[in-house]
Chains A and B, each alone.
Chain A
Amino acid sequence: MSLLQVDDIYGGYGNADILHGVSMHIEPQEIVSIIGPNGAGKSTVMKAVFGLLKVRQGRILFNNKDITRRRPDQIVHLGICYVPQEFNVFPSLTVHENLEMGAFIRKDSYSEQLDHVYELFPPLKDKRGQSAGHLSGGQRQMVAIGRALMLNPSLLLLDEPSAGLSPLFIEQIFERVLEINKSGVGILMVEQNAKQALSFSHRGYILSMGGNRFEDSAENLLNNREVAEMFLGG
């Protein structure tokens, strides 16, 4: 049974479809990257999964449960958390309060999860009392991912986690993503740094013009000459 299964979905923001029949699946504890040129619909697929846009046709299953057309606040309860690409922290809240907001819907004690996030991102522990808006881009990304981890999700959706970061921070963030995955969280990630993302993913999907173009193991995609020439920059 797949963790997430996307079956031939069509949809977009207004009346015009951006996705024209996208299918994909993520197995438990996999890291799957979605890559492709700008405007291919990469982030749109992720938003469709998370209920942020209208899916006109097709269906989305999470743990075999149909979640097509559910609202984000319902989907969060099922164990999928989403980290948007931009504006992904609450700038006037402190680091600690951002993480608390991540656990907003939890009725049980989340202090263990909080410790876990601080262990995963040690720089955050020193900055816990600081406003998230005053952090560097890399640290802000840590807060954003940490916030999404507070619900202990089984699937994490990351929209371009490396966008706008310096190479040093990109590497740090990817290392953390790998570690989160090792603790048992499935990861679906959209990335511009395609080669680097595929280098630690299990599988990848290449989208173009709102549809599937290639899908294969990350290793095969990296070795595929056509893919390399067209999508990985030679």
Chain B
Amino acid sequence: MDWGCFVIEFLQVIIYGIVLGCIISLGAIGVSLIFGILRFAHFAHGDMMSLGAYFGLVGVVSLQLPMYAVFPLAMGATALVAAALDRSIYRWLRSSTPIIMLISSVGAALMLRSAIQVVWGPDNKIYEAGIKLPYIFYGLRIKPDQLNIIFGTAVLVVLLHLFLHKTRMGKAMRALSDNMDLAQVTGINTERVIFWTWMIAAAMAAAGGIFLGIDTRLNPIMGWRILLPVFAAAIAGGIGNLYGAVLGGLLIGIVQELSTMVISPAYKPAVAFAIMVLMLVFRPTGILGGKE
């Protein structure tokens, strides 16, 4: 392999990494938001991504909607499920310890996954059959779907940024993440803010799930499989920090894809795990600095 080919190949893998990184980021944002406010690792987040992907399938296949209309629908439906989960399970455990919250979220994860299997079956599914030709720039191939994933993620991150900095509810979310007790004595209705946090985290997860379904295919375990990279990204970026989650997602995505140039793709999750452990050992507050 000559030098020019290697550079093209390398850049090609970086593009795949960015696409995967976008998907991971959308999950990591939610994990990070939830951890920032409720101080527990939400293990059902991967399955929330799956659920979003399957709601997307309903929009695409059953309702025959165009993709841009599928997103708000699936994101809204997933947000409602998250809100219902909070109301029915997590809310009652709020005053318990983070470990109890964590274990209950593992239970919620199993429930969601089983429900998906019951409704949609265990087989692989796809949104659209057929192959779309990639665009080619200087030998680099990029599919329209991949461009959409990168563009869509960028739009969602910008919207979330605006929400967190320009709206009353968004600012209250940041305030709760800073200091829940102070938010309470200030008179902020913390339960309402927590409710919105779940909705936003779940909506982001749903978008990530749909992108994952577009990039690969749908199956009930897709979200559980991506959970480890999502956690790794949230930790690498600095947990509780939105921009950290995005950076962490891109980092994990790119390194995972690059690793396939030297080791078998089967080790991709191990690479995410290794980055997570390295970050925890050498920089536990993450790239951008997050919460303890």
A positions within 8 Å CB-CB of B: 50, 52, 72-73, 76-77, 82, 84, 87-93, 97, 100-102, 104-105, 147, 151
> Quick check: is B157 within 8 A (CB to CB) of the other chain?
no
Q: For the complex, what is the distance from the CA of A187 to the CA of B11, rounded to whole Å?
A: 65
**For A73, what are the chain B residues with a Cβ–Cβ distance below 8 Å?**
184, 187-189
Q: B171 touching A72 by the CB < 8 A rule?
A: no
**For A84, what are the chain B residues with a Cβ–Cβ distance below 8 Å?**
181-182, 185
Q: B171 touching A100 by the CB < 8 A rule?
A: yes
Q: For the complex, what is the distance from the CA of A104 to the CA of B189, rounded to whole Å?
A: 9
Whose C-beta in chain B lies nearest to the C-beta of A83?
A: B185
**For B186, what are the chain A residues with a Cβ–Cβ distance below 8 Å?**
76, 101-102, 104, 147
Q: Which residues of B152-185 are within 8 A (CB) of A?
A: 168, 171-172, 174-175, 177-179, 181-185
B positions within 8 Å CB-CB of A: 168, 171-172, 174-175, 177-179, 181-189
B interface, over-half SS: helix
Q: A92 touching B185 by the CB < 8 A rule?
A: no
Q: A93 touching B189 by the CB < 8 A rule?
A: no
| Given known A-B contacts A97-B171, A101-B172, A104-B172, A90 and B185 have beta carbons under 8 A apart | no
| Given known A-B contacts A87-B179, A87-B182, A92-B178, A77 and B187 have beta carbons under 8 A apart | yes
- Closest-CB distance, A21 to chain B (whole angstroms): 25
- Closest-CB distance, A197 to chain B (whole angstroms): 22
With contacts A76-B185, A89-B182 known, what are 7 further pairs, Cβ within 8 A? A73-B189, A82-B185, A84-B181, A87-B179, A87-B182, A92-B177, A101-B172
Q: B188 touching A93 by the CB < 8 A rule?
A: no
Q: For the complex, what is the distance from the CA of A32 to the CA of B280, rounded to whole Å?
A: 49
- Closest-CB distance, A86 to chain B (whole angstroms): 10
**For B184, what are the chain A residues with a Cβ–Cβ distance below 8 Å?**
72-73
Indicate which residue in A87, A90, A91, A104 contacts B187 across the interface (CB closer than 8 Å). Answer: A104
Q: For the complex, what is the distance from the CA of A232 to the CA of B181, rounded to whole Å?
A: 32
Whose C-beta in chain A lies nearest to the C-beta of B36?
A: A92
**For B177, what are the chain A residues with a Cβ–Cβ distance below 8 Å?**
92
Q: For the complex, what is the distance from the CA of A174 to the CA of B183, rounded to whole Å?
A: 25
Q: For the complex, what is the distance from the CA of A104 to the CA of B188, rounded to whole Å?
A: 6
**For B168, what are the chain A residues with a Cβ–Cβ distance below 8 Å?**
100, 104
**For A102, what are the chain B residues with a Cβ–Cβ distance below 8 Å?**
186
Name 7 A/B residue pairs within 8 A (Cβ), A-sorted.
A52-B185, A73-B188, A87-B181, A90-B174, A91-B178, A97-B171, A105-B189
Q: A72 touching B185 by the CB < 8 A rule?
A: yes
**For B178, what are the chain A residues with a Cβ–Cβ distance below 8 Å?**
90-93
**For A52, what are the chain B residues with a Cβ–Cβ distance below 8 Å?**
185
Q: For the complex, what is the distance from the CA of A221 to the CA of B61, rounded to whole Å?
A: 81
**For A50, what are the chain B residues with a Cβ–Cβ distance below 8 Å?**
185
- Closest-CB distance, B218 to chain A (whole angstroms): 37
Q: For the complex, what is the distance from the CA of A72 to the CA of B184, rounded to whole Å?
A: 7
Q: For the complex, what is the distance from the CA of A90 to the CA of B186, rounded to whole Å?
A: 11
Whose C-beta in chain B lies nearest to the C-beta of A73?
A: B187
**For A104, what are the chain B residues with a Cβ–Cβ distance below 8 Å?**
168, 172, 186-188
Q: For the complex, what is the distance from the CA of A73 to the CA of B193, rounded to whole Å?
A: 14
Q: A93 touching B171 by the CB < 8 A rule?
A: yes
Which residue, of A76, A82, A91, A92, has the highest number of chain B Cβ atoms within 10 A?
A92
- Closest-CB distance, A109 to chain B (whole angstroms): 13
Q: B188 touching A101 by the CB < 8 A rule?
A: yes
Q: For the complex, what is the distance from the CA of A84 to the CA of B186, rounded to whole Å?
A: 11
- Closest-CB distance, B165 to chain A (whole angstroms): 8
Whose C-beta in chain A lies nearest to the C-beta of B169?
A: A104
- Closest-CB distance, A206 to chain B (whole angstroms): 26
**For A151, what are the chain B residues with a Cβ–Cβ distance below 8 Å?**
187
Q: B185 touching A93 by the CB < 8 A rule?
A: no
Q: B188 touching A90 by the CB < 8 A rule?
A: no
Q: For the complex, what is the distance from the CA of A100 to the CA of B167, rounded to whole Å?
A: 11
| Minimum-distance CB pairs A-B, first 9 | A76-B187, A90-B178, A105-B187, A90-B175, A72-B185, A104-B188, A101-B175, A73-B187, A82-B185
Q: A93 touching B182 by the CB < 8 A rule?
A: no
Q: A72 touching B174 by the CB < 8 A rule?
A: no
**For A147, what are the chain B residues with a Cβ–Cβ distance below 8 Å?**
186
Indicate which residue in A76, A82, A93, A105 contacts B175 across the interface (CB closer than 8 Å). Answer: A93
**For A91, what are the chain B residues with a Cβ–Cβ distance below 8 Å?**
178-179
Whose C-beta in chain B lies nearest to the C-beta of A106?
A: B187
| Given known A-B contacts A100-B171, A101-B171, A104-B172, A90 and B189 have beta carbons under 8 A apart | no
